[in-house]
Chains A and B, each alone.
Chain A
Amino acid sequence: MATQRTRARRASVLGIAGAVCAVLLAACGGGSSGGDASPSPSLDPSADLSKQSIVVSNWDAYMDPDVALKFTDTTKANITVAKHATNEEIVGKLTAGGDPGIDVAFVSGQYAQALNEAGLLEPIDPRLVPNMANLYPESKNLSFDPGSTFSVPYAWGTTGICYREDLMAAAPTSWNDLLNPAPEYEKKTLMLATQPWLNLPAAKALGFSANTTDEGELEQIKQQLLKTKPTLLGFDDVTFYSRLAAGEVVMAVAWDGWCNYSGDPNVKFVVPSEGADLWADTMVVLKSSKNKEAAMAYINFMIGDEMQSWMTNNILYKSPNKTIAEKAAAELGADFPNIAMTPADLAKGESLIDLGAASKIYQQIATEVQAS
């Protein structure tokens, strides 16, 4: 019927109008990102924390399961723990605009730098985080945040090769042992899937910086990775240590503590001769937080002796807390050599920074390598 068709046409026009409105909204209302760059009023060290409540987002099983209880006991502030699976996810949520509902986030250092340059982070107030005095000075002076002005390190370490000592003729000593493996090790190796750790072995083997943005160097890195790919079993960020324990792979690129998780004494860790990176997982306070004093108190609590002791004993990463690190090196260093590494050892690694616009190029390389 004519009336029906008119109605339908009217509805279609309405739909298109709606879409146009949306486009205009997007253009004017602006998309996202860009927090408020103005400095917030100074924080009050004598604020009553029992009236404050924070939400903390961290990787699963990265903190004491009782942290909420212990924190509330110590400071009287309330806390809810949220989880995220990757740096990219949490950064995506935080930069999407608006109030993400998170007060403290655990992110790797280079992401903290990115968040800060986007104006989303509250500067760390040393009055509220006195435990920072117990941290190694080196840990507070990493290239992504010299002076720890917006981030506080929770754990730090390096990347290297985890390998099965008993299944290999000789221990690997160079990144090339994994990038161009002996024929008997083909399809028995894994690399990390996330940038910049995807590029890292190739970059170091070729003598380049892990943070390079030089087009020529990146092209060479890509070519090496393309050459290596057919020899790999795959790219894996998550299950590589269980596969090492099962004997399915003999070498895997890994963050240092992970080699310890397999529980197999035959799994060893080595930092290849060409050097590796220095990464740190840090805590940051969001500018959008309405409970900044409690947030700072939380960070203070997490770098304190009790929580750092839990971290290094359970996650088997190195602690930036001097007292705890020395104790752990003495107690666990024999079983877990990565914990015995000193800040001087770590300083040989290249600290990772945010690559800004170059992260797109890094991701493009990852896409090309994985799609090949």
Chain B
Amino acid sequence: MQINRRKLLSGAAAIAASSFVARPIFAAENSIKLGSVLDTSGVFDAYGKPMDKAARMAIEQINAAGGLLDKQIEYILYDTQSNISNYTLFGKKLARTDKVDVVHGGILSASREAVRQTFRKSNIPYFYNVLYEGGVCDRNIFINGITPSQQVKTLIPAAVKKWGKKIYILAADYNYGQITANWIKKYANEVGAEIVKTDFFPLDVADFGSTIAKIQTAKPDMIVSVLVGGAHISFYRQWAASGMNAKIPMASTTLGAGNEQNILAKEETEGVLVAYNYSQELKNPLNKKLLANYKAKYGSIDDLHSTAVSHYEGILTWAEAVKQAGSVKSADITKVMEAGLSIDSPSGKMTVDAKTHHSILDVHLCEFRDKKMEIIESFAQQQPLDTQAVCDLNANPDDNQQYEIKI
């Protein structure tokens, strides 16, 4: 990461300008305030923008149906501009100045950790609705994103069965990439596969020439990509440009989570194996309705990815909890959630796991065909086993940390 004066200055200017960013939909006095921090610009905006759009749609739908507890929901979003220090700043602002009732937001694991303690101290329920590496144990947070035991456990054995036993991992160099790489190793070992090599890349690396040559030296049966963000997109492009996409198959835990397939060419993603909680190709009526609504509101469903849908579902889960609790207070919502609240959502049934505040959900193994995630097989109601192994909020309600899961 090069920090030069330009970046520093533009950051400072952005912070100065950001006081204009708050855009409440309703300014009614008697409203429920839903706060959010998302990267709706910068290198992670491919994740953040559709999440924001999905959130607006969810809130509009709830408000159109009469709101919650006879109050309208007011949406307060801060654009964190793909800059982690903005999360700290705007997280505090949401908690202290805006005094919101709930927060849905955060994308990268680093961003979640930047705001988690702020909301915990202020006793504001925090919903983190993104796939991540697992292990967060905190009674104030609710997570409906898919974790490695749900995703990797489905993906790796299927890939090994399909292609063979030698795996080469390429991962982003921060907590998500590091921990996910460990999980891949664990589930690979369980089915008798071996990891020939793991390479980590900082988020701004965009030249993968030497890596592609090294992969060929190692001669793996497949590569697994845990790459994240705009710069890492270059890998898929350079991989296809060297013609390797026809020779060594690829599985990924991240490709498609930001709808990367839309900026890549067809042949650059064709045949890549992935596993998510959601695909646009799901045929259930709730998903059809979601796609139709999104299309009606925004004109196209191209950018609606699994991360945006799980953000949407997080808001629906919270709304259901508020309805059942008859209150927006943290203690009341937590009580309802911990009773095993369950909703039917476009991605399938989602149930809150009381022990970990994570989600029990359906996982779909998919393959990219013509830029679409075609579903190969669905696995119903998968438990967040990774976090369950280390975290028990029933026994230790005051626990407050992210466990590094020993593998």
Q: Decide if A and B are genuine partners.
A: no
- Listed in ascending order, the chain A residues whose CB lies under 8 Å from chain B are none
